[in-house]
Amino acid sequence: MEFAGFDRPRPSGGTLTATALKILIAGGFGVGKTTMVGTISEIRPLHTEELLSDRGVGVDDLSGVETKVATTVALDFGRITIREDLWLYLFGTPGQDRFWFMWDELALGALGAVVLADTRRLQDCFPAVDYFEQLKLPFVVAVNCFDGARRHDPAKVRRAVGLDESTPVVMCDARNRASVKDVLTTLVTHAVSRR
């Protein structure tokens, strides 16, 4: 048995505050969200299948759950420890449109979002861009440069997606740690500058 929690130094006169910041990784299906979370997470990223309850209707019995078996949603998340009392959590958002309500919860109070885009099917990132624009949640568009994908000029991507000038567009490789770090630092800086 560990009792580490009781031994931690606490700021004098205050309660211990621990803060977890959320960053969302969004984008179309197969664009590299899971890869990006896995590249940067210090824990083995948890890929969970969430069973969804019917919202608004009580499902306090197992038979109710069984009827919802088909409704599962995949969610990936990873963690970066910043300080002993401060963590960044990366959530790879469900790609399917019918899970928008899950986005609402994930986005609530989030620091910002990375919209991963693939230039071969740029339109796949439009729903995420629209969503974060409406929510006024700071985001960056990160173009995942797959092998064989044509390298695009960020300005062209900005025009094609219809982004305003303040939203950063960066090229990245979701498999490369240094590259993902650049994306995240760009997002954090953008989020702080937007306040």
Partner 1 sequence: MERDGTVTDEDPGPLVRLYGLTGGRARPPGESFDLVAIVTTIRTPFELPGLNPEHHAMLSICRRPTPVADVAAQLGLPLNITRVLLGDLRREGLVNIDPPQPANQTIDERTYRDVLHGIRRL
Q: d(Cα 30, Cα 43) in Å, to the nearest integer?
A: 22
Kindly list the residues in this chain that would bind partner 1 in the complex (CB under 8 A): 1-6, 8, 16, 18-22, 40, 42-43, 46-53, 59-66, 68-70, 72, 75, 77, 79-83, 85-89, 91, 105-106, 108-112, 177, 181, 184-185, 188-189, 191-192, 195
Strands laid side by side in the 169-172 sheet: 46-51, 72-83, 86-92, 19-27, 112-117, 139-144, 169-172
Burial of 91 (0-12, 13-18, 19+ CB in 10 A): buried
**Residue 75 β-bridge partners:** 48
Q: d(Cα 59, Cα 46) in Å, to the nearest integer?
A: 26
Nearer Cβ to partner 1 (15/148): 15
For the bound state, the minimum distance from the C-beta of residue 175 to partner 1, rounded and expressed in Å, comes to 15
For the bound state, the minimum distance from the C-beta of residue 111 to partner 1, rounded and expressed in Å, comes to 4
Nearer Cβ to partner 1 (46/149): 46
Nearer Cβ to partner 1 (134/155): 134
For the bound state, the minimum distance from the C-beta of residue 65 to partner 1, rounded and expressed in Å, comes to 5
Q: d(Cα 56, Cα 71) in Å, to the nearest integer?
A: 15
> Phi then psi for 187, rounded to 5 degrees?
-65, -45
For the bound state, the minimum distance from the C-beta of residue 113 to partner 1, rounded and expressed in Å, comes to 11
Nearer Cβ to partner 1 (61/147): 61
Q: For 48, how many CA atoms within 13 A lie in the half-sphere containing its CB?
A: 8
To which residue do tokens 């993902």 refer?
180
Nearer Cβ to partner 1 (114/161): 114
For the bound state, the minimum distance from the C-beta of residue 152 to partner 1, rounded and expressed in Å, comes to 25
